[in-house]
Amino acid sequence: MDPAPHPADLRLGGPVALAWVTAALLVGRPGAAWWTLGSTGTVGVVVLTLLVLRTGSGVRALPPVLALLATTAACCTLVGVAVGVGYPERSPAVLAEAAGRTTEVEVGLTRDLGDADRSTTGTLRRLGGTGGLDVPVRIVPAVPTRAPAGAVLTGRASVESDDGGGPEAAVVFLRGAPAVDPPTGVLAATDRVRQAFVRVTDGLPEPGGALLRGLAIGDRSGLDPGTESAMETAALTHLTAVSGSNCAVVVALVVAVGRGVGLPRPFRAVLAGGFLVAFVVLVRPDPSIVRAAVMAVVVLGVRLSGRPVRGVPLLALAVLGMLVVDPWYARSVAFALSVLATAGIVVLAPPLTALLARRLWTPVAAALSVPVAAQVACWPVTVVLSPTLPTFAVPANLLTEPLAPVVTVTGLLACLVAPVWPWGAAVTVHVAWVPAACIGVIATTTAGLPAAELDWPVGVTGTATAGLVSLAVAAAVLARGRARARLLVAAASVVVLGVGVVAVPRLVVQGTVPGDWSVVACDVGQGDAVLVRDGKGPVALVDTGDDEPALRRCLDLLGVERVDLLVLTHFDRDHVGAVGAVADRTDRALVGPVGRPEDDRVLRELEDAGVDLRTGDDGTAGTLGRLRWRLVWPPAGAAASGNDASLVLETAAGPGCEHCVSGVFLGDLGERSQRRLRPLVETRPDVVKVAHHGSSDQDPALYRQLAAPVGLIGVGADNTYGHPTRTALDALRAAGTAAFRTDRQGTIVVSRDRGDALRVWTERAADDGPPADSPAAPHAVGPAAERPRWPVGSTQARTRSTRRRRKERMPAKKPARAAAKIDQVPWSGVRPAPVVLVTGPEQFLAERASSVLRDLLVGEDPALEVHDLEADQYAPGLLATLASPSLFGEPRLVRVTNVEKCTDAFITETISYLQAPADDVTLVLRHGGGVRGKKLLDTIRSGVGGGVEVQCDELKRDTDKADFVNAEFRAARRRIAPSAVRTLVAAFADDLAELAAACRQLLADEAEEITDRVVDKYYGGRVETNAFKVADIALAGRSAPAIVELRHALATGEAPVPIVAAFASKIRTMAKVSAFRGPSGQAASALGMAPWQVQRAQRDVAGWSEAGLANAITSIAAADTAVKGGSRDAHYALEVMVRTIARRGEDR
């Protein structure tokens, strides 16, 4: 016989589980609560009648089925009454009446609100003139606000009902900064204790410090995203904050101390209960904490009576009690995970320990059984939240299991003494930091292991499979005798089949990947991520895409643990968004020009990971194993940033690398930059990474010159641009290049076989066969001597798992975008509408359209108010505030930029606004391209909101630019000769804004017809110049050349204001670096700058005095005033500024 423990008492578990399901259903339809009460009451009456009819038999003689039915009816009746009674208080009529209006509110916080928090929870106490409310709500601040739990916020807000059965009945969107009344009484005392603890832990190294605060007082605010992700991958998220297990530790510790000092049992129970209540108030009551606290109180009560404690009835009673107090817990995922984990430990851990003890030392078996039981019980729920299988969850939990109680106990001790003895608390937190840091190391190490998590099927299939596996394991563990043997075999079969759904296809794919791969286009959706190596040596990664899990899967598929060189061609999200996945795998990075503030955030993330950064430009070169590489773009005079400033990498075989695969990787270069690139490329590569995901902005002549056998296109099937376009595919076909696409073929691997012919392996075949518009069909393999017309072979790995990975990777049978139901007009046809969607890559035309629209609206009403927002910095509730009725009825123009990088809150609130746009508001949304915000764009294009779309397509052809010039002169009622148009377009072929500026200058300066002679007089022999070039020459001390460049810049259309701004930016940076007094190595992080920016500023400021810097700043201020209308001769003021700075600010 098995030495199994006493079997679990499951009699109350079933009825409470059914009551839980009943509550989950009723909170979504509270109107059915009383019907349910009637049904369950009827069942109870029937059972009671049967009991009465069995007179003389006693209650114990009641058949088990009827007893179970009676218990179930009673439990369901209780939760039905709770829902029926609680719903009117939770959703009062005044809540619906206030929808869509801004009014005065008073809310009390149940959780802390930090500066960086987007929302918190609380209770709505007063709405308008109605007080005495007690409505659970989610609170969204409009501005950063800090307030502890128990504080009362008062201010204006809009309240949106959200009673879909979740924990909160409504969302409160605060307008402006609320008045904050601090907490009082016990909550005020606990806040002081928490703040004292935070102060003594502030200087601790991370992530140990953040994990210590989380485990001791439940403060997760300092946990960085990288550590949080690692804890999730290692299945250790329950250790990032206080959980139910911490309550058990506190109660056990108090009881043990009480027993040690000889306190009687009643005193120990009361003391433990008091400490438990104080602990819950200190750490704030999450569902798992409340559940654990209720269970602990019940345990203490049972122990007081001297009766044995049974786990399952105790857990069931705690769950029932919580559902009766607050039935809306039924739909809380945190509550479900807490209950399931506890149930797994209570029910499965004892028999599993007995089973494992046959082969293992009993303490080891007991330690191992707890995380296994918890994982088995929780997996069917966690797989819904994150469809993965954490491979090393059990060993990670086993290693951290003894550390968490130490952190909790020592952390709490430090927390208690911090307000009165900070020095003693500081010593204690350093002791507690050690095990907390170990937890962090275990998490990051586990998350960094190969195959740390396996993808699991999503949807019903994945959930059902996970549930079946968990059920099979539980049945095998609980069975006894011969039945256990049979169930063990059955469970093993189910586990093998279930895990095989994920692991076997993955292993099949991994097993077929050529081990000698040279170039790999990773399937990362709509984005680029290309791996390069010499066939077996160091690895380079060109861009990262915008999907970290997808990039990690690709790296794991190929067994890439280190990236020796990271190349970021430019800073669009679809090229750098997943940089976090490789920041800790690389030491060196080559980056493109920085042009926007958000670009610096990417660089800071790499710097924080210890990556050595270098800005790449034309001529930068090096080696990668036996492979030679160099950058052939951008040259001097190229665009400052963006697509046309993309780094273009050229690789070629070095000595001893006869089987290397050469390549040219074009980033997102457009047609005109590709034309300029032609003479700079020296090789005829084996592989070309097609520019800009196969957009139509291509130079076919470049691809004909390259004549690469293989073309790689990184593209997502759900992109809204129609990539890859027919134009790009035709250009590849004409060049003899076989097109391989990640949207249809997944990850693409290029290598050479022993016959020196190229071999192409794809993760899957395009399910509809090779696309009709692509020459990428499999061919016979040809030898290298036939270059450049090598046929290309293709090996496909067809697997079930790779077919289901994402819908974007399936063949696109439908158009890239549904037909729009609103008018789509060019920029010149912009007109007022409730919503104006401005799309397309040409920023100048977008700005011109916005300006024209503003002029039209001002013409209708000069009192127009204009508000400008950035969607990526959007504060929740701001749109509703700006669109709310104006006091004096002025019309409003709300212009929103960066919609392609918008927040989730912006999408949600804008779609809600579109349902009923304000009558006197014109909303302009500027979307520069990308998949972000697609749902919002589709909503507008479907006609919701009554909008119009202004399409600002890039003017690529000279004929388009000529039409633009002619339109400019027609609008001014002036004439320009056709030959002058051609001369003007040739002079400004690369910049539409400069072309427009040249037109304005000619219109202002010349009264007669504009001929080619006039154009030649102004712009003949034009060389490109810009504001920063003028500033660089002046800072070098070259006064005369700087004046020449300044005059040339002004003559060729450069506006004076940007020139002053460029000088101000340079001098401001120099002043910051000059004033920094710390070690030079710390200047970059202290000043929030990249290292090379600091080095450049240090070189520029050499030889400057403080008085010189002050004079330079004064001259810049004077020039700024002059160019903005404060002087009749702004150009003279600019020249004075340039001369002053060229003399380093000295008066001579």
Residue 19 and residue 86 in one domain: yes
* 224 found inside a domain: yes
Asked if residue 732 and residue 606 are part of one domain, the reply reads: yes
The answer as to whether 230 is a domain residue is: yes
Q: Which of 609, 611, 633, 610 is nearest to 620 (CA)?
A: 633
Which is higher by pLDDT, 461 or 582?
A: 582
910 vs 809, higher pLDDT: 910
CATH code of the domain covering residue 111 = 2.40.50
Token pair of 494 as six digits: 């189910």
Same domain, 176 and 84: no
What is the model's pLDDT at position 169? 82
Q: Residue 873 domain-assigned?
A: yes
Kindly tell me if the per-residue pLDDT of 858 is higher than 60: yes
Q: Are residues 376 and 356 in the same domain?
A: yes
What is the residue type of 803? R
Q: Are 264 and 306 within 8 A, CB to CB?
A: no
Q: What is the CATH number of the domain that holds 1048?
A: 1.20.272.10
Measured from the Cβ of residue 267, the count of other Cβ atoms closer than 10 Å reads 12
Q: How many domains, the chain?
A: 8
Q: Which residues, in sequence order, are CB contacts of 426 under 8 Å at separation 6+?
A: 200, 414
Q: Measured between alpha carbons, how far is 1090 from 1061 in angstroms, rounded to an integer?
A: 20
Hey, what's the torsion of the CAs at 790, 791, 792, 793, to 10 degrees? Answer: -130
Q: Is residue 676 part of a domain?
A: yes
Q: How far is CA 159 from CA 25, 108, 119, 131, 877, in A?
A: 25, 15, 14, 15, 10
Please name the residue ranges forming H helices in 326-458: 333-347, 349-356, 362-385, 393-400, 403-417, 422-447
| Same domain? 286 vs 402 | yes
Q: How many residues does the chain have?
A: 1148
Final residue of a structural domain among 497, 512, 527: 512
CATH of the domain at 643: 3.60.15.10
What does the alpha-carbon distance between residue 87 and residue 828 come to, in Å, rounded to a whole number?
A: 55
Instruction: Answer with the residue of higher pLDDT: 1136 or 1004.
Output: 1136
User: Which of 449, 467, 489 corresponds to the end of one domain?
Assistant: 449
Residue 1148 lies in a domain: no
Using the predicted structure, report yes or no on whether residue 818 has a pLDDT greater than 50. Answer: no
**pLDDT digit string, tens, across residues 287-311:** 667 766 776 666 666 555 555 556 6
Q: Round to whole Å and give the CA distance between 136 and 754.
A: 69
- Structural domain range at position 886: 823-951
Question: For the residues 254-268, what does the mean pLDDT come to?
Answer: 83
Residue 777 CA to residue 598 CA, distance in Å, equals 41
Taking the CA atoms of residue 523, residue 529, residue 533 and residue 535 in that order, the dihedral angle to the nearest 10 degrees is 10
Q: Does one domain contain both 665 and 533?
A: yes
Mean pLDDT to the nearest integer, 836-854? 86
As a whole number of angstroms, the distance between CA 1038 and CA 1004 comes to 32
Nearest Cα to Cα of residue 955 among 633, 670, 719, 669: 670
Highest mean pLDDT among 562-571, 843-852, 881-890: 562-571
Higher pLDDT, 741 or 454: 741
User: Which CATH number is 982's domain given?
Assistant: 1.10.8
User: Mean pLDDT lowest for which of 300-309, 680-689, 736-745, 829-838?
Assistant: 300-309
Please name the helix (run of DSSP H) or strand (run of DSSP E) that holds residue 818, with its range, or none.
Answer: none
In the block, which residue shows the tokens 């099979």? Answer: 472
CA–CA dist 1054, 1058 (Å, integer) = 8
Give the DSSP letter string of 964-995.
Answer: HHHHHHHHTT--B-HHHHHHHHHHTTT-HHHH
129 and 239 fall within a common domain: no
Question: Do 786 and 642 have their domain in common?
Answer: yes
For residue 7, being part of any structural domain is answered with no
Q: Residue 240 domain-assigned?
A: yes
The mean of the pLDDT values for the chain is 77
Residues 631 and 698 in one domain: yes
Same domain for 297 and 401, yes or no, is yes
Q: Same structural domain for residues 678 and 579?
A: yes
Let me know how many helices (H) and strands (E) the chain has, helices first.
42, 29
pLDDT in tens, 26-40: 887 766 656 666 566
Among 62, 90, 118, the domain-final residue is: 90
Quick one: 1044 and 1072 in the same domain?
yes
Answer yes or no: is 5 within a domain: no
> Whole-structure pTM over 0.95, yes or no?
no
